Chains A and B, each alone.
Chain A
Amino acid sequence: MQMPIRIDPTRALADIATFQRKLAAGMANLRHMREPEYANTPRELVYSEDKLKVWHFTGHGKATAKTPLLIVYALVNTVWMTDLQADRSMVRNLLEQGEDVYLIDWGYPDGADRWLTLDDYINGYLDRCVDAVRARHDLDAINLLGICQGGAFSLCYTALHPDKVKNLITMVTPVDFHTPDNMLSHWCRRMDVDLFVDTMGNIPAGLMNYVYLTLKPLRLNQQKYIGMVDILDNPAELENFLRMERWIFDSPDQAGEAFRQFIKDFYQGNKLVKGTLEIGGKPVDLGLITQPVLNIFAEQDHLVPPDASRALGKHVGTTDYTQLAFKGGHIGIYVSGRAQREVPPAIHQWLRQRD
């Protein structure tokens, strides 16, 4: 049998030397690199409450869309993934398409927010944000774009307040939490969530990040940084890398009660698709969502498996349901080159046909 490993020792040593040389040469770049900024697309504050802010992106020209689009992001991680850097900004691309874009920035919860429930978030904060945007445009209903957990929130909100949502877009949104490939759901199935939240209070962002890293421990904790060595001599690429690192690890803690409910009802109980979910004592029936729905998911998503998102089609009540599969991962769907070309134009086209 042929030897599958034929590594020339001289070459191996040369590889090590090269690795070290790159490290040494790139060290200065790494040391002196400042905290990379996000895209910071021009925006104005239009509503705030507690730690929450609603931003209106002003863009360069006047929006052509008649109905504004409110982006509802997840509570985990910050909202700036949607406006990461100038050439990788979903927000900026949506503005260029002519959309009138608003964004909810949930802020960083602390001990004072420990008792915020899903009812407070969905029927409280989110509802008041929607009302603020409706009032600015004097409209009955606006468009919602929910991302990941924010998508699940948007689904609940639309089912509970159908009069206030004209069109609903969900991106990488988990709907069926019990698909066999959902590692996060699998892991938390035997967790005593009450004990967990009673003990931890708010859930620290560092702990959440730890769990995310252990989904793919070698790729995310080691291989990624080995790859970084190859770009240490390229300040622009290094800055992009560090900006992404900033976004990944500059995460908010999770309000304890909301976390408890989300894990219990969504991850463990899978109540959204079972039709047994209640938010603030009111039943959430996806069948009541009769407005047009665009469901976008990522085919290589390791956090929200595609099947978890695809399930929406079976449960939503609308007859105007569109599904868009994106060739990429959970993060790539916002920031990859392909995403910039495909996702915002697809959203705009779909909305324009229903504006």
Chain B
Amino acid sequence: MADPANDFIRDYQTLAQQSWDAWARQFQQPVANPFAPPPAPAAGNDTLERTLAGLKGYFDWLQAAAAGSSAPSSGNDWRQQLQQMFGGASQPFAQAFGGIDGAGAEGFMRQWQAWLQAARQGGFGNLPDAPTPAFGLNREQQMQQQALATALMASMQATARYQELIQRANAQGMQRLQDKLAEPGRQIDSLKGLYDLWVDAAEEAYAEIALSDEFREVYGEMVNAQMHARQQQQQQTEQICQQLGMPTRSEVSSLGERLQALRREFRASRAGISADQADEIVALRRELAALKRQLASASAAAPASKKATAEKVPKLVRKPVAASRSGASPRKRK
């Protein structure tokens, strides 16, 4: 039997989806003429991508939620209605997490998958699923491949444990949302209002889990496992570079370390010399001042015995540097 109200909603959703796609496509159109001068730099494409990703999640949810809000609920079971609104493929929580894989954090899993693919094409052969005894000419290479495969597996498992916690935060966020909605006098009459309340609830639940001991362990394990896998990958890359006669990352890094150490020594040495010189100047000034005072007092006391007085003036001696150094700033200040 025809249902005009639901048909209308379906039609509208189709139309809305089409307009969204058209809107998004405008940002993705390739430059028609590859020789044309590049367009003026627009404000951060990165911003645009993030914006689009975030808005797309929200838009998907709006559509699903609108359908959910129009669906007749059995009795007053608003909780079931809520589950319909926040469940399924349009789940905005997962989208929010999925959208923050920026260049720096570029989904580690995607990187590994790309690496595995490249490694196979580049002659590494298929990585074994489980370590097997290695021998023969390619023993070392095989061992390294096995180590990489093991590290990748461990990384994937650690990431899966992390994602379980994220899902738990999501589920607890839903529970919190229900609790908030059940508060006396609470009334939500717009999708945006519902969304904002859900964000409050989900962030609270996430923060609680993110500050738990379990999260700390899982997070650390995930980071460490990813780094271990990345390190294995780097070792293999270095070997390829060595075979091709290219400088490796560790060689460049080692040079940088030595250079920085030299710079540090040079600066310390120069600062030491400078401080020594400053100390010497201060010492000399003091001696000069003492000489002047002695000369002045001597000439005032006995003008006739100039020669004798002059002989008593101490010699201008450069003090040994180490003895004259002091921690205080030697400069005379205003």
Q: Interface on A for B, CB 8 Å cutoff?
A: 1-9, 11-13, 15-17, 19-20, 23-24, 27, 30-36, 111-112, 114-116, 120, 124, 138-140, 163-164, 180-181, 183, 186-192, 195-196, 198-201, 204-211, 213-219, 221-226, 228-229, 242, 245-246, 249
Contacts and interface: CB of A to CB of B under 8 A. Distances in A.
B31 interface: no
A43 B227 CA distance: 42
B272 to A, nearest CB: 14
A189 B65 CA distance: 40
How many residues of B sit at the interface, in one of the four size bands? 35 or more
Given A3-B78, A9-B70, A23 B210 contact: no
B238 interface: no
A8 B189 contact: yes
B99 interface: yes
Interface string B247-263: 00100110011011100
B105 interface: yes
Interface string B72-114: 0000101001100000000011011101111111100000000
Nearest to B81: A5
22 contacts: A6-B189, A7-B190, A16-B16, A20-B16, A27-B23, A32-B42, A35-B41, A111-B252, A112-B256, A114-B253, A181-B211, A187-B210, A199-B234, A206-B102, A214-B100, A217-B97, A222-B58, A223-B199, A225-B51, A226-B54, A245-B43, A249-B44
Interface of B: 5, 9, 12, 16, 19-20, 23, 26-27, 40-44, 46-48, 50-51, 53-55, 57-59, 62-63, 65-66, 69-70, 76, 78, 81-82, 92-93, 95-97, 99-106, 181-182, 186-192, 194-196, 199, 202-203, 206-207, 210-211, 215-217, 219-221, 223-224, 227-228, 230-231, 234, 249, 252-253, 256-257, 259-261, 264, 267, 328-329, 331, 333-334
A191 B224 contact: yes
A116 B278 CA distance: 28
Query: What are the 9 closest A-B residue pairs judged by CB atoms, nearest first?
Result: A206-B104, A190-B220, A210-B105, A207-B104, A115-B260, A9-B70, A225-B54, A204-B104, A4-B181
B169 to A, nearest CB: 9
B252 to A, nearest CB: 7
Contacts of B26: 27, 31
A247 to B, nearest CB: 11
Given A24-B19, A186-B216, A210-B105, 11 more contacts: A4-B186, A5-B81, A7-B188, A138-B333, A140-B331, A183-B207, A192-B223, A204-B103, A221-B100, A225-B54, A225-B55
A27 B24 CA distance: 10
Nearest to B63: A16
A8 to B, nearest CB: 7
Contacts of A140: 329, 331, 333
Contacts of B96: 217-218, 221-222
Please report whether the interface of chain A is mostly helix, strand, loop or mixed according to DSSP. Answer: helix
A5 B78 contact: yes
Most B CB contacts (10 A, CB to CB) among A12, A31, A189 go to A12
A164 B261 CA distance: 26
Contacts of B40: 34
B55 A23 contact: yes
Contact of B253 (A8, A20, A164, A201): A201
